[in-house]
Amino acid sequence: MKKTLFLFLLVLLPSLTFGAGIIKNTEHSYTYLRPHSIQVDVEINNQVSITTVKETYKNKGAVPLFMKYGFPLDINASATEFIWTMNGVALKAVLTGQAPDTTAANPGGSVDYILKEYLGESPFYFSFSDSLPPDSSIIIQLTYIELLKYSAGEIYYTFPLDAKGLEQTTLNKFTVNVNINSERTLENIEAVSHSGIQTNISAHNATASYNTSNLNPDKDFTIKYTVSQKDLGVFLLSTKPQDEDGFFIMLAEPDPKTGQSEILSKNFIFVMDLSGSMSGIKVQQAREAAVYCLTHLNTRDKFNIITFRDVITKYKSGLIDASPGEIQDAINFVNQQYAIKGATTNINDALLSALSQFNDPNAANIIIFLTDGRASVGEQNSDAILHNIGTANTTHTQIYVFGIGSDVERYLLTSLSEQNNGITEYLENEEVNEKISEFFYKIRDPLIQDINITFSPNVVNETYPMNLMDIYVGEQLVLLGRYTTPGDVLLSLSGRRYDEPLDYTYNVNFTAAADTNYFIPKMWAKEKINALLILIDLVGEDSNPGREYIKEIIRLSLKYGITTKYTSFEEPATGIDNEDGLTEDEQGQKTPQGFILHQNYPNPFNPVTTISFSLPENGYVLIKIYDITGRLVKVLIANQLSGGVHQFAWDGSDSNGQPVAAGIYIYQVEFTNMKGETFIRTKKMSLVK
């Protein structure tokens, strides 16, 4: 039994801007199809949003349209479901443990930079092997989940609608329905982006709706709602699936109305790279970011500035008060800084110089470290630098690292923050000013330091993030974890302000119900995956621990149904994939555990691709290549193989050694074990020229 074949490719494209979904015509460079109608349904449960967007596209041309689909997911969002309907048939993609294809090319192989720029930092990307016939429509439905950003009681939901640099196409119909449920009392809901949004609010539920025709997609759709605030309130939500540990999410925040006298003063040092590679826009944005930080210091703060290349330069010999006069002088100093072509990078001594400025372990000591390169002078060994910094950091200084561009030492920079109670962000050149300004605004009012959370009785395990950050005025501490036993628990949140110990206790309840807060397991899995990605940065993908972390990410992704950089959506079993007409469950029962056929890599490819698979035991293997019509193109291998992982390359040639035409091809691995049992697995690949 043969059915229509589809190929899905999830592609991650680094970029900066956002917009609604888009279909690329793969046979013509820089030619796109925009949706003519969009319906968005959103469920927000205590800041966790689940968005289902349904877009309709129509091919108004006279020839079939070969398609790639992309959607600009936020970097913090994860796709959970993909469904499409064409010619009256609806199909649902399945999540597989294969890394997504990351190619984004025009015909001929050139990179489609317009598409990359349009789709943003982490787009969802699919490629269809079937074309969309003339005068036909395709309906695409994508569901994704994310934790919404929060600040001082305000929560924003944004749907990416702005067409940005692409030619704007009027939407025939645009509909949004948002339903909000909140444990905290809702105080207000309002439209931010579009007039005519209808809203309704009660104590714990709010709605927003918008329905319009002939809309020009020139801005994102955004609403804002606010919740009441209490002194260091703790809100805990939980769910308990049957026959396994429960899941919870805890949201804690300080009182944003804290007076200036109660806010911690901080000691702040901005460490700025002026090596040769920082020339141009990078150093300009670094200057702007430093000026922003200086102008937003609290009056009780102290500060200094250190610049470095092969030599270290201190603005002042030690920390100085953030008085108006000192701040203006410092701004003048920053604006005179420039990168010197050919100058090297002394990371070790720059950070040691900054750490030597701090002498009070009870103060909020903060370093913001900005660099675009690697250590190239002085101590250059990453482990030695980490040891030196760790030994010198005797004052609980938090190091926040911003790595600019692609040529940075990720192991070193990630480790610097992880080992010194900070965070690391990797930025494109154009993001520096915006991101550091946003970050500095967040940390300008630290309230509680050195946080520790305990539960009594101790029924909690696997909590993330692994390192708890200080709580700042108007911000939240978010903790996700598992629990073994439902019931009432005493939660203790302790920390300090200066040298004054703080201890807060709350009575919380872990539910025994499985039919509530169904979104929490996905959010917990996503947070654990984020923690594993940080560990991979520290040890490297190719190390033994790194490979184990990747396996665990794939397991979590498949179990909880969220996409990652190591997993992707793929077509359901159809056509040659399911010659016997078996259901998905029957296929799983028929195939022995350990017999796995991986997606070829690269895919699409030109001129060579690698086919890899795993065998549970010794046996006879036959690999066949078919074209899209089912015609046998080549027998790649017919041989006895041992159990384990195997790889074979196909150079795009047929059985006569002649190159085949570009298009979709099918590769099939037939495995016969020592008992004479035969099993078949099949996947599709794309040859481009």
User: Is residue 570, in this structure, part of any structural domain at all?
Assistant: no
Statement to judge: residues 111 and 221 lie in one domain? yes
Statement to judge: residues 84 and 212 lie in one domain? yes
In the listed set 415, 443, 471, which residue is the last one of a domain according to the structure? 443
Statement to judge: residues 394 and 464 lie in one domain? no
User: Number of structural domains, the chain?
Assistant: 4
Q: How far is CA 198 from CA 190, 192, 224, 265, 579, in A?
A: 9, 12, 13, 43, 52
Q: Per-residue pLDDT averaged across 427-452, rounded?
A: 71
Instruction: Indicate if the pLDDT at residue 269 is higher than 90.
Output: yes
Statement to judge: residues 35 and 173 lie in one domain? yes
Radius of gyration of the chain (CA): 28
pLDDT at 223: 93
Task: Out of 225-234, 273-282, 501-510, pick the least confident.
Answer: 225-234
Instruction: Indicate if the pLDDT at residue 251 is higher than 80.
Output: yes
Statement to judge: residues 437 and 450 lie in one domain? no
User: Is residue 535, in this structure, part of any structural domain at all?
Assistant: no
Instruction: Indicate if the pLDDT at residue 158 is higher than 50.
Output: yes
How big is the CA angle at 625 (ends 624 and 630), to the nearest 5 degrees?
Answer: 105
Q: Per-residue pLDDT averaged across 623-648, rounded?
A: 83
Of the two residues 11 and 564, the one the predictor is more confident about is 564
Highest mean pLDDT among 224-233, 485-494, 619-628, 648-657: 485-494
In the listed set 399, 421, 443, which residue is the last one of a domain according to the structure? 443
pLDDT at 205: 92
**CATH number of the domain where residue 647 is located:** 2.60.40.4070
**CATH number of the domain where residue 242 is located:** 2.60.40
Statement to judge: residues 178 and 106 lie in one domain? yes
Of the two residues 151 and 269, the one the predictor is more confident about is 269
Q: Which of 361, 372, 353 is nearest to 394 (CA)?
A: 361
Q: How far is CA 172 from CA 62, 296, 534, in A?
A: 21, 45, 44
**CATH number of the domain where residue 41 is located:** 2.60.40.3680
User: Is residue 386, in this structure, part of any structural domain at all?
Assistant: yes
Mean pLDDT over all residues of the chain? Answer: 82
Number of residues that this document lists for the chain: 689
In the numeric block, the tokens 């994508």 are attached to 142
pLDDT band of residue 315 (cuts 50, 70, 90) is very high
Amino acid, res. 80: T
pTM greater than the 0.85 cutoff: no
User: Is residue 7, in this structure, part of any structural domain at all?
Assistant: no
Q: Per-residue pLDDT averaged across 452-456, rounded?
A: 93
Statement to judge: residues 105 and 62 lie in one domain? yes
Statement to judge: residues 217 and 321 lie in one domain? no
Statement to judge: residues 453 and 386 lie in one domain? no
Of the two residues 345 and 258, the one the predictor is more confident about is 345
List of residues 6+ apart from 296 with CB closer than 8 A: 440, 441, 444
Domain around 427: 265-443
pLDDT at 139: 92
User: Is residue 536, in this structure, part of any structural domain at all?
Assistant: no
User: Is residue 607, in this structure, part of any structural domain at all?
Assistant: yes
Statement to judge: residues 481 and 354 lie in one domain? no
Task: Out of 69-73, 212-216, 594-598, pick the least confident.
Answer: 594-598
User: Is residue 328, in this structure, part of any structural domain at all?
Assistant: yes
Of the two residues 313 and 374, the one the predictor is more confident about is 313
In the listed set 443, 459, 490, which residue is the last one of a domain according to the structure? 443
Statement to judge: residues 615 and 678 lie in one domain? yes
pLDDT at 676: 65
Instruction: Indicate if the pLDDT at residue 432 is higher than 70.
Output: no
Q: Which of 49, 124, 121 is nearest to 425 (CA)?
A: 121
pLDDT at 594: 72
User: Is residue 537, in this structure, part of any structural domain at all?
Assistant: no
CA dist 150 and 634 (Å) reads 57
Statement to judge: residues 614 and 514 lie in one domain? no
